[in-house]
Structure 1
Amino acid sequence: MQCHHYDAGRCRSCTLLEVAYPTQVADKERHVRELLEPVLGERAHDVAWLPPVTSAEGGFRNKAKMVVTGSVDAPVIGILGALPFGEAGGVDLTDCPLYPQVLQAAFGPLAALITRARLEPYDLTPSRARVTPRDAARRGELKHLLVTVSPAGELLVRLVLRSQEPVARLRKHLPWLQAELPNLAVLSVNVQPEHKAVLEGELEIVLTERQTLPMTLDGITLHLRPQSFFQTNTDVAAALYRQAREWVDDVAPAGLWDLYCGVGGFALHCAAPGRSVTGIELSAEAVASAEVTRGELASASREGAAAMAGVRFAAGDATAFALGASPDDVPELVIVNPPRRGIGPELAEWLETSSARWVLYSSCNAVTLARDLEHMPSLRPAQARLLDMFPQTRHYEVLTLLTRA
């Protein structure tokens, strides 16, 4: 992939851009194997590695997380770049080749909205005299612009603001934006008043009639709410769910848990008639999205009703849910899809001593996967597959089916 921003030194986020893509994938698979081998010992030779799932080299990202700098009349949408005297200047990345064309095309109207609604970019620039973070000016309203695109080309746009003050102006200009962006599905405001390295706040104000962005993968339409997590690479995410469903159907458990279930991707893809499925997710927003999808699938057909009959979702902490469950309620299979920190020793040790026969572990950080496996010696990886969710970087997803020894 060629990138003029990288060539000019304006952005170096794609750390592997100069590495041929097949080499990137091979290096990632070698990396995960090297991390797991010390943990598994001789058992490492028993793991059946499927061919890696590769991605398009560019245009694959379904989400843009952009910093907004510049001024009301000339906003800069992109990232922060270093300027003399320790100041932070904006780098325009609206034509980043990682974004599909439909996403790139949205930034022009959104920049115009910033001007029309008089959304002053939040100023983090420190003074030239003193360049410590607490000397930042801390003026303005608009901090970030978050845009997600669905497979159908619809958009979910979130404006991260310092306060609710501009909401009335945004409502006034919403009809104009909808005319300029006919594929806009959801527009919301997230309020993050604090001056700290946290991308968004708790308060979300949806300004459009529609509340969710439909993300259709393999005939299942997941409903993404503004604060819900979704994988950044739609095609590879679809492959991830397909692989999970294939392995789950192969072992055919009577019941399963999907811990860290998000909007229900794994749970809904792995549901089947006669199978009980419980999804647990800390985010109530994500659980509400999963429930919407479950209801739609149940009402769509007789087969859907049968598959969804045993599916339920609940908001809660994954570890607390597992530790608080009755031994009689533990299913044959547990799916875990944790954040980068992994599931941690407490949940891993619970899985080790539980009656679960299989664990399907989806990891975005093989370092913590290896660490968690150390606490589960009787759950041995039988099959594994690398999925290159993040081309041009060292990050990747790995899906592993663990079987009780």
Structure 2
Amino acid sequence: MQCDYFDAHQCRSCALMGVSYAVQLADKQRHCAAMLSAVAPEVSWLDAFASPESGFRNKAKLVVGGEQGAVTLGILDASGRGVDLRDCGLYEPGLHELVPRLADLVDELGLEPYDVPSRRGELKHLIVTHSPAGAVMLRFVVRSQKQLALLRSRLTVVRERVPEAAVVSVNLQPEHKAVLEGDTELVLTDAHVLPMEVNGITLGLRPNSFFQTNTVVAAGLYRQAQQWFSSVQPRQVLDLYCGVGGFALHAAVLGDGGPAEVVGIEVSPEAVASAEHTAEALRAHRRGMPPTTFRVGDATDVAALDLLEAGSLVVVNPPRRGIGSDLAGWLEVSGAAHVVYSSCNVESLARDLALLPTYTARSARLFDMFPQTRHHEVMVLLERVGSQQHSAATESRS
């Protein structure tokens, strides 16, 4: 991938820019395998799931800088001034073409960029999510409600300039610190949900819902998990840190041989509302779908919920810090025959696997969510030692 911004030292976020993609992928695979070698000596590594080298990001987190009528969209430099990256090659088609139009829109509306050094101004960020169907969620992150009335009154202009914007909202972030968004979200459009189709399942994203930034690789991640679900045929699937329900819903649509019950736990009420929205839509069109429920809660408190049946499968997709000793301890004494662990940090994954001695890592796969960087996603299928549910079919069907 060629990037003029990188070559000009305007943006160095993509630390592996200039390294051939084949080398990037091989290096990540070697690093992850080495990190897990001591705690998962018998694991079988599947071929890495590659991403497009460029044009893969479905989400743009754009810092607004510059001056009123001459804004920059991109990042801040070391002095806190805006660096314009509106032609960044990471954004997928559709989103890439939209970013320059958003800069023009901000200028046309007369929105005042927030100036970090002087702590003056209003508009801090634009957060844009692009769906495979071409629809967009557009979020204006502002310092206060001063420009809320302006945005409400000019919503028609926003929709005319960005006709693909299905959801438009204002997020209030009043603090002067490196925080992308605040707790208060005000949706300006009638629609509150962005449809995001993945493997034939239309996930409903709300403004504060988390979704992987690489749709192609996320789809591959969910397909792999679904194959593992099918191969071990659990009685129940419990999806912790479930977000908008990607793993849980892929289990729920398996049909014959799928689980009899699916439960998702997530701390974000917005994400749970999104997951419930999708599950309700699926029930209307899929007969025989098992009971599928989502609950607001902290995944680390799941032991108190007494949800798990013997012979079940637990999915964990934690933040970078991993699941930690409490949740690992609960898994150790639970009835879960299998665990699918999806991790964005192989170091914390290795620590957690060491806390799960009654499980054996059977299969693992690298998913390259973030080309041009050293970041990675690794998913591992764990089986409880002595479980009678595992068979050689696990690998052959993966």
TM-score (normalizing by structure 1): 0.91
Taking structure 1 as reference, are residues 298 and 10 closer, same or farther at Cα in structure 2, changes over 3 Å only? same
Q: Distance in 1 between matches of 2:16 and 2:100?
A: 29
Structure 2 gap ranges (5+): 386-398
CA deviation string 1:183-239 (max 9, x = no partner)? 111111110111122211110001111111111011100001010000000000000
Taking structure 1 as reference, are residues 351 and 328 closer, same or farther at Cα in structure 2, changes over 3 Å only? closer
Q: Distance in 1 between matches of 2:321 and 2:11?
A: 27
Contact (CA 8 Å) 2:235, 2:309: kept in 1 or not? no
CA deviation string 1:144-197 (max 9, x = no partner)? 111110011111111111111211111121111211221111111110111122
Offset at residue 380 of structure 1 (A)? 1.1
| Number of equivalent positions | 381
| Equivalent of residue 313 in structure 1, options 294, 297, 300 | 294
Q: Which amino acid aligns with 1:70?
A: G
Q: Which amino acid aligns with 2:200?
A: G
Which residue pairs with 1:67 in the alignment? 63
Q: Which amino acid aligns with 1:375?
A: L
Offset at residue 289 of structure 1 (A)? 0.6
CA deviation string 1:231-271 (max 9, x = no partner)? 00000000000000000110000101000000000000011
Secondary structure of 1:258 counterpart: strand
Please give the residue correspondences for 1:255-404 in structure 2 after superposition, counting only pairs within 5 Å.
255-271=236-252, 272-273=254-255, 275-300=260-285, 304-307=286-289, 309-320=290-301, 322-326=302-306, 329=309, 332-404=312-384
Greater share of helix: 1
Taking structure 1 as reference, are residues 201 and 404 closer, same or farther at Cα in structure 2, changes over 3 Å only? same
Which residue pairs with 2:151 in the alignment? 170
Contact (CA 8 Å) 2:238, 2:262: kept in 1 or not? yes
CA deviation string 1:45-69 (max 9, x = no partner)? x211110000100000000111111
Contact (CA 8 Å) 1:262, 1:286: kept in 2 or not? yes
Which residue pairs with 1:223 in the alignment? 204
Q: Which amino acid aligns with 1:176?
A: V
Which residue pairs with 1:132 in the alignment? none
Which residue pairs with 1:94 in the alignment? 86
Which residue pairs with 1:153 in the alignment? 134
Structure 1 gap ranges (5+): 126-136
Q: What is the aligned-residue identity percentage? A: 54
Which residue pairs with 1:234 in the alignment? 215
Please give the residue correspondences for 1:23-42 in structure 2 after superposition, counting only pairs within 5 Å.
23-40=23-40
| Equivalent of residue 204 in structure 1, options 181, 185, 189 | 185
Taking structure 1 as reference, are residues 95 and 328 closer, same or farther at Cα in structure 2, changes over 3 Å only? closer
Q: Distance in 2 between matches of 1:209 and 1:259?
A: 31
Q: Distance in 2 between matches of 1:49 and 1:198?
A: 37
Q: Distance in 1 between matches of 2:273 and 2:55?
A: 30
Which residue pairs with 1:121 in the alignment? 113
Q: Distance in 2 between matches of 1:328 and 1:250?
A: 20
TM-score (normalizing by structure 2): 0.93
Contact (CA 8 Å) 2:87, 2:100: kept in 1 or not? no
Cα RMSD for the two superposed structures: 1.3
Q: Which amino acid aligns with 1:4?
A: D
Q: Which amino acid aligns with 1:275?
A: A
Contact (CA 8 Å) 2:308, 2:336: kept in 1 or not? no
Q: Distance in 1 between matches of 2:91 and 2:307?
A: 47
Q: Which moved more, 1:184-193 or 1:270-279?
A: 270-279
